[in-house]
Structure 1
Amino acid sequence: MANEYEVREVPKVVVQGIRSGEIVRGVPMQQTWFVVEHIKTRQRFGEHDEEADAITECENRNKKERP
């Protein structure tokens, strides 16, 4: 049976709420997350800084989906 989940590298986007007078600091460009996504629906189930952590979660999710 084919895998249901995959690991993808996506740009890291951080949304901040600021108060009046605060300085907004952006996330440095080129930062990325490694996310676990369902292949068909593109629903995300995890965001990881380390690729190895994302791969481990993806493998675990794929094992659970198999009968």
Structure 2
Amino acid sequence: MFEKTYTVTGMTCQHCVASVTEEVGELDGVQSVNVDLDTGAVTVTSEAELAEDNVRSAVEEAGYTLTA
């Protein structure tokens, strides 16, 4: 199992959290997505290391920006 925390900007409400969780959760191998709205931290647990470009694309599809 791999776990990595990313920082996402632009999220302001629980709908934002749900959108990011849904899009990132659809990536191959993702086991869980935990979003902390207050800090913008998005922790992803997956079967294998994810390509950051894939995570970035999923976050952007949800309408937000991956900053780290």
Q: TM-score normalized by structure 2?
A: 0.30
Question: Which of the two has greater strand per residue?
Answer: 2
More helix by share: 2
Q: TM-score, length-normalised on structure 1?
A: 0.30
Structure label with greater radius of gyration: 1
